[in-house]
Amino acid sequence: MIPLNELSRAVQLRETGRWEEARALLLELSIKMPEDPSVWYQCAWVHDVMELEREAVPFYEKALELGISGGERQGALLGLGSTFRTLGWYERSKAVLEQAIAEFPERREFQVFYAMVLYNLKEHGRAMEILLKQLAETSRDTDIQSYKKAILFYSDKLERVWE
């Protein structure tokens, strides 16, 4: 196991915007401890914040392959799915996000990112349905809540015309 202080230091460097330093330390840690999924996840994350999405992919994949769990697994799945989407790899993004939704159905952020990739795949109706449901179910805005029933009803009927 990596000394917690080294990994914590790398995370702190990332969180304070010292990305190059964080990246260098994390890459060093990935060589020292290649079986630690948290290191691979943090490597992916720092590459993502540096807008090095293509370079982030193998780090996310390795973290998942090594069995990352808990909140870090959620973050790795979301990060990988989102990164695939930003690279234009929509089908791969969709598959990862569907896996994440199956594993963590209570986590709404996966639904939102899934809606984004559905939009990219020209599945506009389904994307809107998901977003409208998320809006109706999570908004604290009193005006939106007063129309919650209608928003939920119409969410999957956007193409229907009543005569």
pTM assigned to the model: 0.90
**HSE toward the beta carbon, residue 155, CA cutoff 13 A:** 20
Domains of the chain by residue range: 4-104
Full DSSP string of 101-130: HHH-TT-HHHHHHHHHHHHHTT-HHHHHHH
The CATH classification of domain 4-104, taken from the options 3.20.20.70, 1.25.40.10, 3.30.450.20, 3.30.420.40: 1.25.40.10
pLDDT tens digit string along 30-83? 999 999 999 999 999 999 999 999 999 999 999 999 999 999 999 999 999 999
**pLDDT score at 161:** 87
**How crowded is residue 20: how many other Cβ atoms within 10 Å of its Cβ?**
11
Share of the chain above pLDDT 70, in %: 98
